[in-house]
């Protein structure tokens, strides 16, 4: 995935200095000093592109949040001012609404650091969500657990949740982590989570789809 506040910027995989707020209660500037629109602390979104014409895609849901005072509201928008390569097919994604565990860095050069340090082999990632899709669209949550092997990162496990069903109230959901047998004795040292209001593994992303998410938590243990 590639984002930019001013141009075309490749993501680098590093640890986030500020741990992501899994309850979405704390928010801060998306990409200071260029953008003053807020993102959840420890998360990044297309809000950094509001500086070059993209509409705000992630906002605070405070009228009817699930837990606490705030839930995250992700809306699919027309992407302006950046090229976001589609990881599944050729070409760029021009319609998207995504929240990724990480932080936009505007200075000294634009880019993104992402991933949160952790230690373990959790079995599931739980969260609450509701969805208001445009016809034919679907939302998803992706999670990856990795470990640095001295020269590169190994993906220890991954999990996915997806839905195309309209829901008007928050409901508890979860995704199950699928562990690679090659790393059966390895504990992850970093986690990475994506939440999207639209599909991108195939055509169908629609401007206006809205995905609400809150209260993320890891649980369980996957042993050897």
- Taking alpha carbons only, the member of 129, 36, 133, 29 closest to residue 75 is 133
112: three-class secondary structure by DSSP: strand
pTM: 0.86
pLDDT score for 97: 93
CB atoms within 10 A of CB 224: 7
- Between these two residues, 15 and 18, which has the higher pLDDT value? 18
The arithmetic mean of pLDDT across residues 21-34, rounded, is 81
Find out whether 24 and 73 touch, Cβ atoms under 8 Å.
Answer: no
pLDDT score, position 17: 45
Mean pLDDT of 128-148: 96
Residue tagged 């470990």 (tokens): 147
Q: 38-95: per-residue pLDDT in tens?
A: 899 989 898 888 888 889 999 999 999 999 999 999 999 998 877 777 777 777 788 8
Phi and psi (nearest 5°) for 47? -60, -25
In the predicted model, what is the mean pLDDT of the chain? 85
Split at pLDDT 50, 70, 90, the class of 103 is: confident
pLDDT for the residue numbered 68: 93
Q: What is the pLDDT of residues 48-59, one digit of tens each?
A: 888 888 899 999
Q: Tokens in use for 190?
A: 């970093």
Mean pLDDT of 173-196: 95
Residues 6+ apart with CB under 8 A from 150: none
Lowest mean pLDDT among 35-39, 44-48, 148-152, 158-162: 35-39
Q: How confident is the model at residue 205 (pLDDT cuts 50, 70, 90)?
A: very high
């Amino acid at each position: 995935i590639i984002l930019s506040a001013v141009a075309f910027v490749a993501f680098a995989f590093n640890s986030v200095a500020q741990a992501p707020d899994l309850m979405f209660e704390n928010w801060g500037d998306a990409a200071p000093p260029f953008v003053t629109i807020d993102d959840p602390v420890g998360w990044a979104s297309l809000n950094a592109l509001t500086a070059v014409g993209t509409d705000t895609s992630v906002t605070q849901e405070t009228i009817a949040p699930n837990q606490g005072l705030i839930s995250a509201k992700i809306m699919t928008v027309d992407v302006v001012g950046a090229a976001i390569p589609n990881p599944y097919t050729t070409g760029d994604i021009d319609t998207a609404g995504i929240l990724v565990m990480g932080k936009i860095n505007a200075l000294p050069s634009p880019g993104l650091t992402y991933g949160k340090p952790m230690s373990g082999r959790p079995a599931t990632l739980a969260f609450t969500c509701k969805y208001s899709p445009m016809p034919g669209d679907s939302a998803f949550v992706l999670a990856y657990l990795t470990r640095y092997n001295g020269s590169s990162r190994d993906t220890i496990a991954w999990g996915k949740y997806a839905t195309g069903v309209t829901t008007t109230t928050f409901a508890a959901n979860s995704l199950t982590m699928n562990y690679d047998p090659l790393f059966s004795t390895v504990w992850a040292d970093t986690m990475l989570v994506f939440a999207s209001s639209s599909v991108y593994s195939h055509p169908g992303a629609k401007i206006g789809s809205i995905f609400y998410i809150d209260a993320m938590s890891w649980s369980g243990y996957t042993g050897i």
